[in-house]
Amino acid sequence: MFSLAGKNVIITGAGSGIGQAVAVLFAAQGAKVNVLDLDEKAAEATVAQISAAGGDATAFACDVADVDGVKSLFADIAAANGGRVDILVNNAGIAHVGNALTTTEADLDRLYRVNIKGVHACAQAALTHMTVQGGGVILNMCSIAAQIGLADRYAYSMTKGAVLLMTLSIAKDFIKQGIRCNCIAPARVHTPFVDGYLAKNYPGQEAEMFEKLSQAQPIGRMAKPAEIAALALYLCSDEASFVTGCSYPIDGGAVNLR
């Protein structure tokens, strides 16, 4: 079950964290993985990890908000793989801390550029090929921030709400062309971003704040990137062929058990 053998997969933001975990798992399941990240060295590190395990992956530097650049890169990737883009995992995204008073125009523009425009650009580029080949899968990385109020996550929540609605729109518009589109909505996940955030904002209090953030989930801890990747694998596999237009919380009870 859950084989991705013969599938040509594009994963954005795959140089670290959730994206890296998804790339490693998908490669282990037989996919040809195209690892995209703004940081090319990070993408290459993910590819090195995959290659060491016997998987097939290639690294690409990619600014997901560069619409023309994304189109060109996706076309090159498709051309090198029989004209196909079978799966897109739209994972690249950035965060912001602030409320409606403290969020600046520059903050809004920065988040819009990556979290909305970037998701759209990659989905559009993938759909260009999926509609021709007669099917495909798009999985967007959303957040519980699209469903519940989170303190000081004004702009971030706004963009993730947009991701949720983009997911539903794509699923509706392309269902007859054999294209499925879903999203995953995690609670807090322990990634290098979390460690960096704590080191920057709470020097000397990292352990205390890590525990506080962990307890925000009723289950009492943060998710592991590999756990998010496991759900991604199911949703992108043929075993989920009847699943489209859905948002899947993976949140340790954060939404329904608060």
Task: State residue 201's pLDDT score.
Answer: 84
CB 119 within 8 A of CB 140: yes
pLDDT (mean) for 53-69? 98
Task: State residue 248's pLDDT score.
Answer: 97
pLDDT at 197 over 90: no
8-187+225-247 topology per CATH: Rossmann fold (3.40.50)
Which of 112, 154, 156, 197 is flagged as catalytic?
156
CB 76 within 8 A of CB 59: no
Q: In whole angstroms, what is the distance from residue 54 CA to residue 51 CA?
A: 5
pLDDT (mean) for 156-169? 98
pLDDT (mean) for 64-85? 98
Is 112 a known active-site residue? no
pLDDT at 173 over 90: yes
| Per-residue exposure over 126-139, b if at least 16 CB sit within 10 Å of its own CB, e if not | bbebbeebeebbbb
Q: Identify each DSSP E strand in the chain by its residue range.
A: 8-12, 32-37, 56-61, 87-90, 136-141, 179-186, 247-250
pLDDT at 258 over 90: no
Task: State residue 49's pLDDT score.
Answer: 98
Percent of the chain at pLDDT above 70?
A: 100
Give the contacts of 130 (CB within 8 A, at least 6 positions apart): 85, 136, 138, 174, 177, 179
Secondary structure letter of residue 61 according to DSSP: E
Whole-number average pLDDT of the chain? 97
Q: How much is the pTM?
A: 0.96
The residue ranges of every structural domain in the chain are 8-187+225-247, 189-222
